[in-house]
Amino acid sequence: VQLQASGGGLVTPGGSLRLSCAASGRSFSSNAVSWFRQVPGKEREWVAGIRQGGMTHYAGSVKGRFTISRDNGKNTVFLQMNSLKPEDAAVYYCAASLGRPILSSLPDPDTYDYWGQGTQVTVSS
């Protein structure tokens, strides 16, 4: 099983990016997938998650600006990021769980069984 994260890049404040997390080896359409981000010297931070049935959840810092979605036919999860701020700059990772975690477990990295390699997002003028 592999998760391939892509879509990062350089964007000016207020701009948008769409990250993709493509899974191969098995389907995760009925499992939880989340996006995390990490900056040097800080712990990995949960950003957003999508659970079984398509339920979506967001960290407070990105709610209203980021949207997580999935295309089950392509076995891919997306993170649409709008109104980007300099503090959103980080390496973004996608992670998938083999189970169906409860909401309170989504931010815990130990919930996840597979991780993508990360994609860099830079927000700068």
Q: What is the structure's pLDDT at 89?
A: 98
Q: What is the structure's pLDDT at 16?
A: 98
CA angle 22, 10, 49 (to 5 degrees): 40
Contact 125, 11 (CB under 8 A): no
- What is the SS3 assignment for 83-122? CCCHHHCEEEEEEECCCCCCHHHCCCHHHCCEECCCEEEE
> Which of 18, 21, 79, 76 lies closest to 48, judged by CA?
79
Q: What is the structure's pLDDT at 14?
A: 98
Q: What is the structure's pLDDT at 53?
A: 84
Could you list the mean pLDDT of each consecutive 10-residue stretch along the chain, which spans 125 residues?
Answer: 95 98 89 96 97 92 97 95 98 93 92 96 96
Q: What is the structure's pLDDT at 27?
A: 86
Q: What is the structure's pLDDT at 52?
A: 83
